[in-house]
Amino acid sequence: MKGLPEGYDHGFAERYARLQLIDWWDQEAVSRATVLVLGAGAVGNEVAKNLALSGIGRLVIVDFDTVEMSNLTRSVLFVPKDAGRAKAQAAADAVRRLNPAVEALSVVGDMEWDLGHGWFVDADAIVGCLDSVRARLAINRICRSVGRPWINTAISSSAAEVTLFGESGPCYECTVGEDELVESRRYSCTGFRLPDVSNKIPTTAVTASLAGAWATQEAIAQIHRRHGRAVPGLQPGQRLLHTLRPLGTLVLNLTADPACPQHGDPNPVVRLNLDPRSATAEQVLEAGGPDLEELHLGFEFVQSLACGRCGHRLRVSKPRPKVHDALRFCSLCGEFSRSATEFSVLRRGDRNALRPLRRLGVPSRALLLLTGPNRSVWALLES
Ligand SMILES: [Zn+2]
Ligand SMILES: [Zn+2]
C-alpha cells in the first residue's frame, strides 16, 4: 500500500479485507478522510466508534461537556474512570485504543466559538450529534454559509432519526417551528454566557446505536461521493426515522421553507498563506485584496464592562459568548448595570487590527468573513 499514512502498512489489507469485498467500498478514501463529529454524547460515541472500526483517517471530536456516570448506559467509549474527564478527550482516547491508525483530535469547547470553522470546509463529512436546537441551528448556518452538506441526528427513548441536509434544498432551519426558534434565542438574548443548562431527555443505548449506525453510513456515503462514487443512502433533504412506538421505519422528504433565511449563495473560501498564531486583521485584509475593507470576527469581542451608574470599569478582553452574564452585575450598585465596550468588525487602521487575531479569541482554522463593496469571501489562514 504505497503512500498511505503511517500505521496503515501493518496489516492494512488484512484488517479491512471484509470491507474491501463491498463493491462500492474504497478503503483508501475512508482511510484518508476527515470526519467532524460535533458532540461526544451517546450518538457521537456511536459514530466515532463505527468510523474508527471502519478505519477512518481522522476524527475531530468536539464537545464542551464532561463525562458523568449517567452517560455510561449508552456511551460505548466511556468507562467509569472517565467520570469528570472532558467527553471529547475520553472519546478520542478510546478511538485510539480501538484503532491506533486513526488520528483522533479532540476539541474541548463549544463548536460555535472554540472550533475553527475551517474544519467545516475541509472535513469530508460533518455529523451533528448534539441535543440542542440552538447548536443544530449553528451547524446549519455554518454549513450553508460555506455550501457543505451535513448529517443531523436526534434520539429519544423510543425514536431515532438521521437527516441529510444538502448544500441547497431544505435545511435544518426550514424544519424548525417558530416556537423552537424563539426558545433557542431565549437563552442568548443578551449574547452573554448563561449557566449551562443540559437537556435531560431520556434516551437509550438502542436509539443511540440506531441513529449512530445510520449517521455513520451517511458519513461514509459522503466520503465516497467526494470521490465520485455512488453509495446507498439518503438523498439530500431526506430523513430516516425509526420509531419503537408505533414500530416502524420511515423515510420522509422534507420541504424547503421559502421564507428561510439560510438559502443565500455561499461565499467563496480563499486560503491565505499567513501564520494563524500571529496574523493580524490588517495582514489578513492585505492578503485578501485591496477591495476588501472589513474583517468580521463572527462574534462581539468585549474589551471591558462599565457600570452605567457608578462608572466602575472591568477589563474583560474575551469574546462575548465566553463572558458570563453574571459579570454584567455591578456589586457596588447592586444591579445588572454594566454594559460592554465591544467590537466585531475590524478595518485597516483600527488599533485592534494590529493585534494578533489569536489574542482576540479567534480559534485556529477559523473562517473570517472579509467584505468589500462588491464581494465577500471567507478567509482561511494556513501556513
Ligand atoms: Zn432553510
Ligand atoms: Zn455600579
Write the CATH number for 156: 3.40.50.720
71 and 95 belong to one structural domain? yes
Range 318-337 average pLDDT:
92
Q: How many CA atoms lie within 13 A of 284 on its CB side?
A: 37
Beta-carbon count within 10 A of 165 CB: 31
Alpha-carbon distances of 32 from 119, 123, 270, 278, rounded to whole Å: 15, 11, 23, 29
Range 176-205 average pLDDT:
72
Question: Final residue of a domain: which of 194, 223, 253?
Answer: 253
> Is residue 109 predicted with pLDDT exceeding 80?
yes
Pick the more confident residue, 256 or 10. Answer: 256
> Is residue 210 predicted with pLDDT exceeding 60?
yes
Range 364-376 average pLDDT:
95
Residue 268's pLDDT band (boundaries 50, 70, 90)? very high
Q: Is position 163 within any domain?
A: yes
Q: Is position 6 within any domain?
A: no
Q: Is position 2 within any domain?
A: no
Q: How far is the CA of 111 from the centre of ligand 1 (A)?
A: 20
Question: Final residue of a domain: which of 221, 253, 285?
Answer: 253
221 and 249 belong to one structural domain? yes
358 and 273 belong to one structural domain? yes
Range 341-358 average pLDDT:
96
Between CA 58 and CA 33 the distance in angstroms is 6
> Is residue 261 predicted with pLDDT exceeding 90?
yes
Q: Is position 264 within any domain?
A: no
E strands, the chain, in order: 34-38, 58-63, 103-108, 125-128, 150-155, 159-165, 238-244, 247-253, 269-273, 294-307, 313-319, 338-347, 367-371, 376-382
> Is residue 1 predicted with pLDDT exceeding 50?
no
> Is residue 70 predicted with pLDDT exceeding 90?
yes
Ligand nearest to the backbone CA of 332: 2
Find out whether 281 and 350 touch, Cβ atoms under 8 Å. yes
* Domain span holding position 294: 269-382
Residue 2 has a pLDDT of 44
Furthest C-alpha separation in the chain: 73
> Is residue 359 predicted with pLDDT exceeding 90?
yes
111 and 233 belong to one structural domain? yes
> Is residue 352 predicted with pLDDT exceeding 80?
yes
203 and 281 belong to one structural domain? no
97 and 132 belong to one structural domain? yes
Classify residue 350 by its DSSP letter: -
Ligand nearest to the backbone CA of 181: 1
Residue 179 has a pLDDT of 82
Between CA 115 and CA 17 the distance in angstroms is 35
Q: How far is the CA of 315 from the centre of ligand 2 (A)?
A: 14
212 and 320 belong to one structural domain? no
Beta-carbon count within 10 A of 29 CB: 17
Ligand nearest to the backbone CA of 306: 2
Q: Is position 1 within any domain?
A: no
Residue 193 has a pLDDT of 67
Ligand nearest to the backbone CA of 308: 2
Q: How far is the CA of 342 from the centre of ligand 2 (A)?
A: 19
Residue 278 has a pLDDT of 95
206 and 308 belong to one structural domain? no
Residue 4 has a pLDDT of 55
Q: How far is the CA of 117 from the centre of ligand 1 (A)?
A: 20
Question: Final residue of a domain: which of 202, 219, 253?
Answer: 253
172 and 278 belong to one structural domain? no
Q: Is position 191 within any domain?
A: yes
Q: How far is the CA of 312 from the centre of ligand 2 (A)?
A: 6
Q: Is position 143 within any domain?
A: yes
Range 323-351 average pLDDT:
94
Q: How far is the CA of 264 from the centre of ligand 1 (A)?
A: 10
> Of the ranges 7-16, 163-172, 273-282, 291-300, which one carries the lowest mean pLDDT score?
7-16
Looking at the 3D structure of the chain, how many domains does it have? 2
Q: How far is the CA of 188 from the centre of ligand 2 (A)?
A: 24
Q: What is the rounded average pLDDT for all residues in the chain?
A: 92
229 and 350 belong to one structural domain? no
273 and 234 belong to one structural domain? no
Q: Is position 160 within any domain?
A: yes
Q: How far is the CA of 153 from the centre of ligand 1 (A)?
A: 17
> Is residue 255 predicted with pLDDT exceeding 70?
yes
211 and 64 belong to one structural domain? yes
Residue 91 has a pLDDT of 98
The pairing of beta strand 150-155 with beta strand 159-165: antiparallel
> Is residue 186 predicted with pLDDT exceeding 70?
no
User: Alpha-carbon dihedral of residues 107, 111, 113, 115, nearest 10 degrees?
Assistant: 40
